[in-house]
Structure 1
Amino acid sequence: MLDAVARAAELDTSDQARDALTAVLATCAHCLPPPVRHRHAHRLPGLFEPAIDAYGEPRPLDSTTVIAEVAWRLEVAPERAHQLIAAVLHTLQIQDPDLLADLTAHLRADVIDLLTTPPHHVTSVAPATPAESAREIE
């Protein structure tokens, strides 16, 4: 799965792909009910467990929150976070449709539509500085 994420997101290393996958899954996992989170934490222990409390209560997410949290976790601009989210979700659609189905069942349809439609193509994979991220959010 990491190789597919790296290709889809134009990342240079599997470590970058793992970071992107972890950030997206951990962020989106906030909306999942505890039994679903626990099931996926068991299946993907290296991705879910360190990043989420498998038994915490779910909270609703909107696309702005998901993009902002992934941008914060990865220290990238929101536009790059959006592209990484779309790449991860696209990869899940192909490689782990059950996990994607669980995520999409608990996110609103408009959120899924926005998150799976990447913004215009971004080629830079270098993280933005905190100052650059702050300017882009303003």
Structure 2
Amino acid sequence: MTHYLNIVITMSLVLSCSGSAIPMWEFLSRGEKMSHLYSMFAKQVSSYCKTNIDASAAKCKRDLLVYGVDKLERMTDLHLDAMDPYQRGANDIIWDSMMEGHRSSSSKKQESTPSPIREPTGPYEKNPLFDDDNSNDYTQNQAASSSIPSFA
């Protein structure tokens, strides 16, 4: 009876351990990464060429795919690692990396919402918490902290 119980417990533990459906990008081979990136890029090219009115769809697809494959083959392994398709914004990263330097690279990306990061526009003001010019801050803080009674 205990033998069967041990088998059931062991089998339930083995079955409860399952791998992730998303592979760890860094551990894939160069060929696997390039294949996955190319398939994602081909989908982007297809949708881009459907909306592009500058050229025929077939010519657009052929030109962009040839350019993208050439660019992909010349990328370093570090660059391929940085193009992880499972990260946020991966479609833009893949498109920008593979279309860098192409004459139509700037026409796909359109900013739909303004960036939440704001650049300072005026002169910088001093922050009294961090930009104090007093060189005696440490000694002043030590003197002030020694006058605080301890409650411990």
* TM-score, L = length of structure 2: 0.32
Larger radius of gyration: 2
* TM-score, L = length of structure 1: 0.35
In terms of fraction of residues, the more helix-rich structure is: 1
Q: Which fold has the larger relative contact order, with Cα–Cα distance below 8 Å and residues 6 or more apart in sequence?
A: 1
